[in-house]
Structure 1
Amino acid sequence: MLRFAATGSFLMTVADFCGISVSSAQMIVHKVTAAIAALHTKFIKFPNKSNDILKSKAKNFNLSGFPRVIGAIDCIHIRIKSYGGEDGEIYRNRKGFFSINVQAIVDSSLKILDLVAHWPGSTHDATIFNNSFIKMRLENGEFGNGVLLGDSGYPSLPFLLTPLQNPQTAAETLYNEAQIRTRSMVERAFGILGKQFPVLTLGSRFRTPENTLPLITACVVLFNITRSNEEDVKDINVDAYNNIERELHQNLTENEREYFIHNYFQRLL
């Protein structure tokens, strides 16, 4: 399975390398993929203890000085072969190729904390988020005053901060710069994921979603395992960060983006 995912080669090539039939290679790949994907609850998860959430926010703050960030959210299109049938065209995305639109939330360690990998390529990123379990958890306040950073394709919400389209003031410009630099961690994670598992970028040749979706999840599980072995480059001073957070209000406001601009970034000028 690893050779298949890490090279993006045909099952025939994997079968020849291992000296087995193509049907045997296919059966093994599917079984191993499903077994690895079943580990997603262990390896793809948000920190749930208050101290772990605080440490995560401090690590994300070190990137570009944006407080309270628990992760950056974005979607990536995983190329597939057309499944055909009546619903085949719903997998064609706006760029014209067939894909699964996969939503992921990433932290500064480039680990994927949350994954939604079942929507067809024609689905808009915001639609995936609006129907996701993670949105419900954020609405229920499971992560306190933690926020996500997303691009302009997402709605601006108290717990999801997006960039301003036309910043007018120095504080708004500073907010945008910090937001974009911090949000880049999700783009970097997608880049590394694609290089480690070219099967996701070259395109899955499986003929059904039932075989494709476990492959995506399994690759992310393996990706997170490799990220777990990465050491933090910078020392994290949680106490110093906590002092910064204490200067902000305790709860999220109705317009959190405006609050950040006027009560945090304005003070930095």
Structure 2
Amino acid sequence: MRRGTSDKKKPRIECLYSVLTALRYYATGSLFSVLGDAQGMSRMIVSRVISDVSTSIANHANEYIIFPNSNAEKIKVMQNYHELSRFPNILGCIDGTHVPIRTPKQDEHLYVNRKNFHSINVQGVCDSDLRFTNLVAKWPGSSHDSFIWTDSALSLKFESGEIGEGWLLGDSAYPLRPWMLTPYLQPSTPSEFRYNTRHMKARNTIERCFGVWKGRFRCLDKSGGPVLFDPTKACKLCCTICA
């Protein structure tokens, strides 16, 4: 009986160690060898464990990263943004951030961003509570924010009218559209200055959201070193941690 009970519990214990190892990497960005020493695993096993856990969670990311669809959800997001910034009809704020990765073996030059390090350019949309409602993590660091947005599924939904009433707020890197509001580059009237002030106060949420995201999960921040995976796995990691 003891042996049978032990055999049944062993897979659960191994699964628990795998999840805890992955969580420790997400939180600290530590080297695989350091994590392996703490858990009694080899560097290769740590890499495989983190990759497997990340893939499993990323497969369910769409169940948790959801753009507001119903009228009730949209109204709630709009009301919260209005209370925050006095800016009406906002469905979310959008921006991109660079997640550093180790030098890839293929198409290395495509991953060098404007700050001259290798990265994935991650596009995020958030609400006023700093929750991601949309995420695109698949483009190399050299990709421009406006290109990523134009190619995204959410952009197509706005273009087709599927989203309906409501705006996104973006910085000057994004194109001005009926559903995408950007700041005045050279405001000259009191109303334009007031618009920019409220726009900035609302759009600050996505910058703070990225800050909280990278601060809580140091594996994504440059201060913790690059993500120790190839670009495809690094993209899965970003989706995993957002979920």
TM-score, structure 1 as length reference: 0.80
Alignment of 1:38-49 (within 5 A): 38-49=59-70
What's the CA shift for 1:197? 0.6
Q: Measure, in 2, the Cα distance between the counterparts of 1:160 and 1:182.
A: 13
Alignment of 1:1-80 (within 5 A): 1-80=22-101
8 Å CA contact 1:77–1:121 kept in 2: the answer is yes
* Structure 2 Cα separation of the partners of residues 188 and 174 of structure 1: 21
AA aligned to 2:70 is: K
The answer to whether 1:216 aligns with 2:241 is no
CA drift of 1:51 comes to 1.0
Structure 1, unaligned runs of 5 or more: 222-269
Query: In the alignment, does 2:173 pair up with 1:150?
Result: no
Q: Secondary structure at the match of 1:212?
A: helix
Residue 179 of structure 1 is aligned with which of 196, 199, 207?
199
Could you tell me which of 104, 115, 135 is aligned with 1:83? 104
- Is residue 53–residue 143 contact of structure 1 (8 Å, CA) maintained in 2? no
Q: Given that residues 138 and 232 in structure 2 are in contact (C-alpha distance below 8 angstroms), is that contact kept between their aligned partners in structure 1?
A: no
Q: How far apart are 1:62 and its partner, in Å?
A: 1.1
SS of equivalent to 2:103: coil
Counterpart position of 2:213: 193
| Pairing partner for 1:96 from 97, 113, 116 | 116
Task: Give the whole-Å Cα distance in 2 for the aligned partners of 1:54 and 1:137.
Answer: 18
Aligned Cα RMSD in Å?
Answer: 0.9
- How many equivalent pairs are there? 219
Residue in structure 2 matched with residue 252 of structure 1 by the alignment: none
Unaligned ranges ≥5, structure 2: 1-21
Q: Distance in 2 between matches of 1:172 and 1:106?
A: 25
Conserved 8 A contact 2:101-2:231: no
Deviation at 1:142, TM superposition (A): 2.5
Q: Does 1:136 align with 2:159?
A: no
Is the partner of 2:125 in helix, strand or coil? strand
Aligned to 1:257: none
SS at match of 1:30: helix
Can you list the C-alpha shifts for 1:149-187, whole angstroms capped at 9, x where unaligned?
A: 000111110000000011111111111100011000000
The alpha-carbon deviation at position 212 of structure 1 amounts to 1.2
Q: Distance in 1 between matches of 2:113 and 2:42?
A: 35
Q: Which amino acid aligns with 1:204?
A: V
